[in-house]
Amino acid sequence: MTDWDAVLSGFLTIVILGFLGIIIPGVGQLTAALLGGGVAGYRAGGGLASGFWHGLLAGSFGGVVLGFVLFVVLSVTGLAFGPVGGAIGSALGLGTFFVVVAIAMVAAVDSAVGGALGALVAE
């Protein structure tokens, strides 16, 4: 069973540390993903597989949210150019959504490793 509280905690950790990684050199996105996945795995517990799963969800959730935000922004921007622009913007937004989600799933592997390590520490 998925512990969504653990996933949300890991996701928020990734967002906060990712933002700090942009501002403060040395705290990179990889560090944010590993620590966020670790938080999700630690909070979920239940062994390596559970930690891996919760870290993967925490890492990929950010990509899904980013893809949705880009879809909405491109669609609304397209609507500013009339109905044809809205249709083109929606098509571009939908394509962008799928690409971002696919990239997020691959990039979430480091969060999954962090989640497995976090679950290992929890036990």
pLDDT tens for each residue of 22-48: 777 766 777 888 899 999 999 998 889
CA 118 to CA 41: how far, in whole Å? Answer: 5
pLDDT recorded at residue 84: 80
Q: Which residues fall within 8 angstroms of residue 122, CB to CB, at 6 or more apart?
A: 41, 42, 43, 44, 45, 51
Quickly state the pLDDT bin for 1 (edges 50, 70, 90).
confident
Q: Which of 8-17, 56-65, 94-103 has the lowest mean pLDDT?
A: 94-103
**Of the spans 1-5, 14-18, 87-91, which averages the highest pLDDT?**
1-5
Predicted TM-score of the model (pTM): 0.75
Q: Most distant CA pair in the chain: distance in Å? A: 57
